[in-house]
Each structure stands twice: as structure tokens, then as C-alpha cells.
Structure 1
């Protein structure tokens, strides 16, 4: 694709990056065939190719250009950032990076209506601090029956209390092998058993799991709501929290950790890009690159281990696995969880169009509720086609969004593995 940036524009780093990405696109349109919003709406501007043209027009234009309006912003907002187009693209267009540039620029040019600004600030304020989110969640669960239906779908019912021993995490100090775990921001409130189950399963494999309590939200929520500076500050804060444990395990005589385990694939995909996003930060570039190297989705750990050491009972449940976009398209780990589950003896139902997004996409289900609900219902129809006992996934956003329909229960896959551990 040809570009026409002025010499003055080419002095700006974001224009240089956009120009590089735009020039790799050959307008073939293969991306539209796997784009969820293009399939729903049939509008070229709601597919990757059309959005690429919109971003090109935006970046090549001057401030005040009458063609750049809220309509352009709407088409960029409708993108799920699922990156299915990147998996399909024969030219390797890094669409998600171009989209981040385009969204930041359109917000600078067009701004946001007051209601949108309040909603986006509210999401960033409510979701990224675990204690605040858990307090708001508890309040919402108390008054859930009184809430409007759309809001009620977003508030999960309180989870039943599990067996006491399953509320405990093993002492990590008893193992030589050590890993960190990112606790997450919303997951401890929405699915508190996920990280506990992870610790118990890895303990069976001789791996101690250390929390870093000072680490917080990975930064993705801020970043993808165009508060990119705030997102980078969260990255730096997490690096500061992890770094002593990465260097020497956090205490004299200890060795550094093997990995930073991510149980939410959305967080994992983002942390793996810390190195790129802080590459120009002289203080954090080297540390960020090391953090990205250590970041591993949970399935990347388990698939390399001797799973017979887990001592699992033969599972009876028939599962359907929803592979999150951040796992299959961003981290290129499609099929990995299915492989681990089959090695452990689970029966997996086939899922049609498994490459398509469920509509969660971070905060998308809140900012674009109509499209998100249509995508969710389509996804559940595909997942339920073979009548599974349970649907499992690998990302808290997908889990919460799919559960909002009140249909087949959706859980994190590691919880099912944990429940099959022989506890005798």
C-alpha cells in the first residue's frame, strides 16, 4: 500500500511506525473473511481492510479535515482487537499496532462525548484496582435482582463455597523450582479459585508459585481505552514489583524465577508485549524485555511437563473449549489447551468456527453491548452444538461474558484439572 506522508510527519515516531505497517498491506481482503464484525455488519469499514484505509486517511490528513468525524471513530471503536485478521493475513500486517495508533489519533482529533468519557474513566477506575473492584462487585451482587437485565448479565452470582482444602495454596518454599503468578485485577473477584487451582496443580509438578502482591493490573485496560500513558505506568509498576524476584528470588541465597505465569490469556498477551511497548524507555527497556521473555501462559508450562505426575482421576466430564482470541491469535497457542486436556483424558466436543471472537474483548462487551451480545450468542450456539457438560476457556473476560447468558456453565480449564487431582 502506498502512503503519502509529508516530511514533517515522518519525523514523528508514530507516523514512522504506521507507515511501516501500512506498506506491508496488499489490500487482498483475506482478513475480512475472518473478521467477526465484518461478518455481522457486511460493511467494508467494519472489516480490517476498510479500517486500514480509514487509519491511512486519518494519519495523512491535516487537523480540521472535514472527512475525519465521529463516524470514523465509530468504525474503529467497533473493532474487537481480536487479531483474527493477523492470523489470516498472508503479508504479516501488524494490524493491532496500527489500530492503537489510529485510535489514539482519532480521539485526539474528535474527542469523546461527555457520557463516553465518564464511562471510560469509570471502567478504568473500577476494574483495575482489585480491592475496589471486589467491593463494587459485592455491592452489585447484593442488589443484582433489582438491576436492569443488561446490567444483571454483567454481574455474576456469588460462587458457592468450595471444599476447605481447595481454598488453600501450597507453600511454594518447599520446591526448588519457582514461578511468579500475576493475580490479575478482576479475576480474584470474579473467579477466585482459578489462581488457587493453578498453584495446586503446579505444586503437584514440583513447582512453587509465588504471588507478587505489589503487582496489579497488567495495563491492558488503560492502554486499550486510549489511556496509553497510564497503561505504561502500570507496566513499570509491575516490573518494579517483579524485578527483585526475577533477579534472585527475593531473598539471599535464592535463585531467580523460571517464569511469570498468566492464567488470563488477555493479560498474558499484553505482558508479552511489554518489551516492545517500553523499548524506547532507557530505564525500563532491558527489564521489560526480560519480563516479556519470562511471561508464559499456564498452558505453556503444563504442556512441557510430565502430566502423569499429577495423579489425576479419569475425568468423566465432556467439555467444549472456547479458545480466547488472545490465546490463539495474539499468543499463537491455538490447540495447546486442547492438547493438554486430551492428554489428561478429557473428552472434547468439536467447536465450529472456533477462530471467531465471543464478543468479550476486554471492555468491548460494555462499550459495544449490542454487537457483543450477538457475538456471544453465536459463540454459545457453536459451543453447545454437541451438548457438552461444561464449557471451559482460558480468559476471565470470555468466561464472565459467556456466563452472562445464563446457559451452559463456563469455567477456567485449570479448575477442571484441579478437581481431578487425587487427594488421597
Structure 2
């Protein structure tokens, strides 16, 4: 009896093992992360329907969203410490359950109790904030290092698809369901985010160590340890500063000034719609590109992508045709994902695993925390000095901050130590 041909054996020996991104662990994690992102996006959009049908005032909507932001900022710090102290899976579970329980409470308060809505909004924001660093750390546990860039790209791709398709889908559901039912639906999404993700390898720090529990360092000390770990990576501090500058200036300026430019310069709201849609489509394209592309200098390439956001305020500053505004927003969308995916991947690779959630929480705290400040200051600045000077400053900040972030040690590759190609061989 003859065996299989040698060529068949050779092909079998060379066959690649199945990708871990197709395994059940990552698919469960990806689905849970996507569900949390969809629920996070949907809540303010659904409450907008409540404003349209006069069951909620714009001021009340602003208060609920403000309490959600406050809950997020407090919980993202606490969640980072807890996700390093205990298992990341446990933090995802309890934070998701908190948001799941608070969502129907928010629904019950619409048109009845603003105080109840504010408390529920804060609880939902706390659940959202606590799960973010835990999800980031859990990705590093579930996905092998060589596949994390593709995993992060797949996650951000799902978020962008949600942003693009979500408004139409929600509007369709609103034709059959009221605001209360839609908000309860976000609670079901949070339930999926809480229950579906898999358990990781990390089980917490010294949970079985002898000695009294009082010997454990306090919250401030544990968060301070995460800050010290962040300071150990100069490229991280530079990149985080650049990201914060772009969000506080470029993102805020375009969010506040774009509607007015669309109305006053182009005499139509279609520029606003087209530009925001182009940004999301560009981000989708950027996620697809970075899923497989590996630049030789990933840090510098990522920072160049972040600097591309400056094209958005630049297009609003200059009297260009509407088509160029749309193109600028598309380029900004591509660039932001060319930054985001390598950035998350580098943090997961370079940061000490037991401190990963705390460093991730610092990332979200600084970047998300400055966004409301920028949004609050841009409109008064535009009223005082005019939109032109404000857009000029924002454009320069978006270009110069990433350029400055390219200077610290390790920024070229987003690595704390030199890559092998740059390290001289030992004699």
C-alpha cells in the first residue's frame, strides 16, 4: 500500500494553525465588547428621540449625559485598579451588570423623574468606565501577542460599523418601539457584555497570599503604581499627551463648529451629514488597513495618522469647496484608526501585565476627561475671537502635538526598549 504523495505531506506540514481570532474565546470577547460599545452609543441617541417627542427637555438630556460622563470618569480610575487587583473577567461582569440594571431604571425615569434619570445615567457611565480598562487587559490575556493588532482592529471595526449603521437601525426600531423599550434594549446589550466574555488567565494579585487583608496597599497607592508604570514608558506619555491635545482641540472644534460652518458657509446641513459619515467610513477603511499592515516604524506611522486629524479643522478654517471638507474628514477617520490600533496593541505588549488595566484606565481618563473641557471652551472661544482663529489654533495643535510626541525615547516603534534591529549584537 502506498502512502500519500510527498507533496501532500509537505503541504500538511506547512499548514498554518487556525487563527485564535476564529476561536470561541475571542469571538465571545469581541461580541461582548461590541455589545458594550453599541449600548454606549445608543443611549444618548435614544434619549434624543425622547427630546423629539417632548417627553424630555434638552436641558434634562444634557444633565443625564453629564452625570453619565462623571460616572465614567470616576469609575474608569476605580475599574483599572480593581481589574488589576482581581480578575478582569469579574470586573467586566459586575460593571456590565451595573449598567444592565441601571438601563431600565433610566427608562422608568423618562418623563417622570429627572433625579432618577440622573442617578441611572451616572450608574450606566460607571459601568461603561469600569469595563473599558478591563476589556483592554482581557484582550491581552485571550489573544496571543502576534494576533493582537488584528484583534484590536476587529474590535474597532465593529465599533465603526455600529456607528455607521446604528442611526438607521435605531430609527427603524423607533417606528415600532417607544423610548422605554429601546432603553430596556440597551440593558439587554449590557447583559450580553457582562455575561458573554470568557475568563482570562489573570486571577488577581496575591489573593491567596498569607497575612491580613489590611496589608494590601490602598487604592491611591495602587493607582500610583500604575502612574509610575506609565512614566516608565516615555513614548506612552508623549502619545497620550498628543492624543489628549487632538481630542481637546480638533475633535471638540469640529464637533462644535462644523454644524455652524455647514449652515453659514455652505447653506445646507448636508455637509454636516456627509462629513460625519465620511469620518466613520474613513475609520472603517483605516481599521481594515491596519489589521494587516505592519509599518517599519509603527509608532511614527501611528502618530502621523493622529496628525491627519488636523485636516478636519484645517478644512473648516479655509474657504474650500464642500467636497474637500468631506475628503478631509475621511482622511481624519483613516488616520485616527491608524493611530488607535497600534496604540492599544503597544500598550498591551509593553506594559507589565499586572499593571495593564491601571495604565489603560489612565489612558481613557486623560483622553476622555479632556474632551468635555474642550467642548465646553470651544464655543465661548469662537464667540469671543471668531471661528477662524480658534480653528487655526486647533489645526496647529493637531499637527504639532503628534510631531512632538515622535521625539521621546521609544516613540518610533512604541517600544520601551530598542527593537532587535536597533540593538547592537553582543560580542
Structure-1-length-normalised TM-score: 0.23
Hey, which of these two has a bigger chunk of helix by percent? Answer: 2
CA radius of gyration, larger in: 2
Structure ranking higher on relative contact order (CA contacts 8 Å, 6+ apart): 2
